[in-house]
Amino acid sequence: MQKLWATLGLDRPVPVGLDRVVRLLAAWWVPVLLLFGLALYLPLLDARPLRFEEGRRAVQALEILAGESWWHLQVLGEPYINKPPLLPWLIVLASYLRGGLDEVAVRLPAVLAVLLGAVSAGGMARLLAPERSALAGLAAGIAFLSCAFVFTKARLGETDTLVTAFCGVAFLIWAWARLRGRLSWPAWAGVWFFLAAAAFTKGPIPVVFPALAIVLVPLLLKLWREALVAGLVVAASMLPLAYWAYINLAAEESGHWTSEMRVSGRELPANYWLKLLHLNQVPVGVAYTLPWVLPAMLLFKAEWRQLLKSSWPVLALALYAIPWSLFVLIWGEARPRYAMPAAWAIAALAGGWMALRWVEGRLPALLLVLGAIFVSAYQLVMLSVVEGRTDWQLAYRAKVEALADTVRALPEGPVFLFWAKGEPDHDALAYAGRPLQLVQYGEAFCPDQGHYMLADTAAAETLAESGDWTRAADIGGDWMHLYVRDEADCPRGR
């Protein structure tokens, strides 16, 4: 390895000019990371139409803004129990700041979570390399911001970035307090708060990432009282989630919720055992952490002999990143994003290694500079070529804006939705700007109130046969339609 380093010139000192620039930036590492993260992920946040699960979160927020309960989420007038409510709450708060619910309000919590994740990962790296703490903070933050797990999710109004940041902050509070001998009730309260926030965002599964380290490290060090307290804090962090589940889930609905949390024992995919021959999603998950998993491994290797002594933070980060990642990437319904919380721990380890090895060769500087350049180039391409600019996005934008204009012109009152083909397009329906009430197939089409109904094209024949509604407008061509109640054939309250 040393011969390879020498051949590549990586054993030489960092160029003086680059060293000065990096150390100058490191002296202001927190504002540098905040500005860098904002420059990467905030511009043109509303350029791309809503996608994936963003529309569902936006529809939940619309229901809250219309006066529905914050604790009993709804989607299209029906109870929604698949995910806890913290993200829709934050979207609502962002909409207050924005003066309305739009793409920026939906995505802003995720962007702010990424910034929190970068700064907290930097804070953890400082604990690993106190002699070059500022450099460690800068390096870990850039590693986090340029990790594929992060830059593929940073501009999406989904739960992954939030739980990654919340879990990381909880771990940082614990590690900082433990290193300084201040692991008292205020520190445990902070750990509890952020673990509870993570659980209240996506359920209990992401909490396991930091919880393994917080509980297992004192057990390995034979500190039984600390391990007991840690276990109690982790258990108590589930209480807000448990309360929400209690008031929302009837006994017959619990199976649906456990299925959504991926803990219900669904039938394994037909090719599951074949996938296990290459560890299912593990290779993809590892690829999402490159190149930062490599310096993280080098730090773990360097501190191997001291893991149960002075280097216990390195052991704790390894316990954070590795065991639960392997589990969630191997099980039957694995997706690479399930391991995203591990990116925080990997970034902290990588930042610590780069700071500790900064004067020993050029590899740390090379990784740091290339990471910053790569993510900057990636975002530049996305913003200038992809975000809101592809033919499909432009066509979709025209459709949802037509939907928004149509619904905006309607008077106050209920607006119904009849969607006959598959699951409703929540991303599109969020642009209605007001709650819609879903009408199921076979229900009476003469509700007690309401004068208007939106329907997809597949529902047109059914509505025509009912004789109760008249098509008033086509939206986005033959994509969606507005129907008006025929008062003669369908008097209200019939």
**pLDDT 10s digits, 31-47:** 999 999 999 999 999 99
What is the per-residue pLDDT for 6? 60
Q: What angle do CA 260, 266, 272 make, to 5 degrees?
A: 115
pLDDT per residue as tens digits for the range 211-238: 999 999 999 999 999 999 999 999 999 9
| Other CB atoms within 10 A of residue 27 CB | 11
**Cα–Cα distance for residue pair 269/257, rounded to 1 Å:** 20
Residue 270, token pair as written in the block: 């037909």
Residue with the bigger pLDDT between 240 and 331: it is 240
pLDDT at residue 10 above 70? no
What is the per-residue pLDDT for 261? 52
CA distance to 202, 250, 279, 290, 379, per residue, from 336 (Å): 16, 31, 12, 13, 21
Looking only at the bridges linking them, the beta strands covering 78-79 and 469-475 are unpaired
Bridge partners of 483, per DSSP, are 453, 471
Residue with the bigger pLDDT between 242 and 485: it is 242
Classified as helix, coil or strand, 238 is coil
Q: Can you give the length of the chain in residues?
A: 494
Q: Average per-residue pLDDT in the chain?
A: 88
**Cα–Cα distance for residue pair 161/53, rounded to 1 Å:** 13
Residue 479, token pair as written in the block: 């994509």
Mean pLDDT value of segment 447-476:
82
Torsion sign (Cα): 234, 239, 242, 244:
negative
Looking only at the bridges linking them, the beta strands covering 415-418 and 452-456 are parallel
pLDDT per residue as tens digits for the range 459-473: 877 777 777 788 888
CB 80 within 8 A of CB 73: yes
pLDDT per residue as tens digits for the range 55-108: 999 999 999 998 877 898 889 888 888 889 999 999 999 999 998 899 999 999
**Cα–Cα distance for residue pair 170/198, rounded to 1 Å:** 9
| Other CB atoms within 10 A of residue 274 CB | 10
Is 0.85 topped by the overall pTM? yes
pLDDT at residue 355 above 60? yes
**242 sits in which H/E element:** helix 239-248
